[in-house]
Chain A
Amino acid sequence: MSFFDFFKKKSVKASNDSARDSAKERLEMLVGNGRRFVYKIDDFTDKEDLAKKTEEIKEKIKQEASELFKTDADKVKIVVEEHNGYVIIITNINFE
């Protein structure tokens, strides 16, 4: 150990990427960069129609997402949840 090493703090940085940049990029992927969208589903009284339209929407999102991110459609997973009269669409894209 040289004289100057004594004053050197142990570095934990493994790469040149800043943790902030990496976190920002991942955050944008996770939550997007804008408002969440909520849609009222109170008007849907026909459950079968709702299920059919849900599948159509899921398929459309899957198609758009796979084109946008240039990935296979089966790598796009869409979950539709209902909370207090609103539909929440969660899209997970698995990048290799």
Chain B
Amino acid sequence: MAKVYVVTSGKGGVGKTTLTANLGTIIASKGDKVALVDADIGMKNLDVVMGLENRIIYTSMDVVNGKVDVFDALVRHKQLKNLSILPASQVATKEMISPDDMKQMISKMSEKFDYILIDCPAGIERGFRNAVAPADEAIVVTTPELPAITDADRVIGLLENLNFDDSKIHLIINRFKPHMVRHGDMLTVEDIKSALSIDIVGIVPDSEDVIIATNKGIPLALMDGKDRLGKILEDIVLRLKGEDLPIPTLEELEEKQSWWKNFRNIFRRD
């Protein structure tokens, strides 16, 4: 039986889809069978981040309507054959699928996969309830800004109401900017942790590489020369699997700049 995670946040644009794609890719690269489920019906993006948008024939909507079996709707990744995605329809709406439909689909998929990651839409309405219904554990993504943190707090509260134990809710702080924390311009990891009272499973520093990877349609985890971010994401996966790895310090998160970049910064007028 697969372990089912929902990647959620409340607020949109915090990096749920990118993290779903990358965490799924890393788990699959270690040999486990992984399925990524796009629950953002009507506003799908997971296929685009994975570079699989041209391979979609059927979507989860076709499965719910009984047109095809769930396994016929899955799209396999080009490089990692043990990684598949269940795409969402672009034209349907979230109300066309119920939490029970999602439970049925995921339960069937569970038989053939080790891990299932559900990319939850923004908001706390029907799309959220659909995505959360079949999940065993939740990954809450936030950025270090107030609107994202307050929305994450609301989502954590809703997850608790849906009987998710605190140990089953994991927090990822995305787009963290260590230099801003050092200058007192951004909330620290401790500030966020104390406000949300949830264990942090990882901190992902802000990186232009994420934009490059998304534009190329290649998950960051599969791009060459991205060892630093790759290691950070890999450690998140290990923590999710139960390994007791320390959370990186501010210094460890900060990217060391080359002397040339530092020299150029002296003359730069922001």
Contacts and interface: CB of A to CB of B under 8 A. Distances in A.
Given A7-B266, A31-B150, A83-B161, A20 B188 contact: yes
In terms of DSSP, what is the predominant structure of the interface of chain B? helix
Given A30-B146, A84-B161, A20 B184 contact: yes
Contact of B146 (A21, A27, A88): A27
A33 interface: yes
Contacts of A85: 161
Interface in A14-61: 18-21, 23-24, 26-28, 30-36, 38
Contacts, number: 63
Interface in A59-96: 83-86, 88
Nearest 6 pairs between A and B by C-beta? A18-B184, A31-B153, A19-B185, A36-B157, A86-B161, A20-B184
Interface in B117-167: 145-146, 149-150, 153, 156-158, 160-162
B188 A30 contact: no
A88 B270 CA distance: 45
B161 A31 contact: no
Contacts of B195: 27-28, 31-33
In terms of DSSP, what is the predominant structure of the interface of chain A? mixed
Interface of B: 145-146, 149-150, 153, 156-158, 160-162, 181, 184-188, 191, 194-197, 266-270
Interface of A: 7, 9-10, 18-21, 23-24, 26-28, 30-36, 38, 83-86, 88
Contacts of B185: 18-20
Given A36-B156, A36-B160, A9 B197 contact: no
B267 A20 contact: no
Contact of B150 (A7, A30, A83, A84): A30
Contacts of A32: 195
A20 B181 contact: yes
B96 to A, nearest CB: 22
Contact of B194 (A19, A20, A33, A88): A33
A32 to B, nearest CB: 8
Nearest to B268: A9
B144 to A, nearest CB: 8
Contacts of B146: 23, 26-27, 30
Contacts of B267: 7
B158 A83 contact: yes
Given A36-B156, A38-B161, 8 more contacts: A20-B186, A27-B150, A28-B195, A33-B195, A36-B153, A38-B157, A38-B160, A85-B161
A58 to B, nearest CB: 19
Contacts of A26: 146
19 contacts: A7-B267, A9-B270, A10-B270, A19-B186, A20-B185, A20-B186, A20-B191, A21-B184, A23-B146, A23-B187, A24-B191, A26-B146, A27-B146, A31-B153, A32-B195, A33-B195, A35-B197, A36-B153, A83-B158
Contacts of B161: 38, 83-86, 88
